[in-house]
Amino acid sequence: MYIKKFLITFGTSSKVINMMSLFKAFLKKANFFETKVCITTQRNLMLNQALDFFEFVPDVDLDLMKFYQNHYSLTADIKSFLKEIKRDIVYLYSDIMTTMAPSIKSFHTRAMIYHVESGSRIFKKRLPYPEEINRSVIKCIAGYHFLTYNHLEAVLN
């Protein structure tokens, strides 16, 4: 039997809280799913507190948030990691640069992208900057979108 390989990626404490139930559900079906968790680390202290609360150690910490980083350095860090741990499905949660970059790189490894949408949108390219563009890119790449609030369904249509 083929075991589906999943990657769950997020970077902030609130995302840990939201995604932990998904991860635990996959663990219960370990004979069907091989699941790895990757954190991108936007707010280190709060993220670590949430991970400690769940007594959880992620498989990988990309530690992507650095001073003066740009899109090029960010995607280079992600590319080698994704090639190394080939996944069938990648769950991404958020709309920031450290979510958009893995969505593109995962797409190029032929993984299916599942995007957990995290907030409301106003459809102005530079407001909030650069999240609105990141969201637009992820929307094009992702095969499935999961909403955190029911009222956002109209936004994705």
Place of tokens 């799913």: 33
51-74: per-residue pLDDT in tens?
999 999 999 888 776 676 666 666
Q: What is the CATH number of domain 4-156?
A: 3.40.50.2000
Place of tokens 């637009």: 136
Tally of CB atoms within 10 A around 143: 11
* Domain residue spans of the chain: 4-156
What whole-number percentage of the chain has pLDDT above 90?
A: 22
87-99: per-residue pLDDT in tens?
999 998 876 777 8
Backbone phi, psi, residue 8, to 5°: -110, 125
Angle between helices 13-28 and 44-53 (to 10 degrees): 30
Its pTM stands at 0.81
Mean pLDDT value across the chain: 81
**What ranges in 39-130 are assigned the alpha helix state H?**
44-53, 71-84, 97-108
pLDDT of residue 79: 66
In this prediction, residue 113 has a pLDDT band, given cuts at 50, 70 and 90, of very high
124-142: per-residue pLDDT in tens?
888 777 778 888 888 889 9
Backbone phi, psi, residue 120, to 5°: -75, 160
pLDDT of residue 95: 67
Q: Which amino acid type is present at position 15? A: K
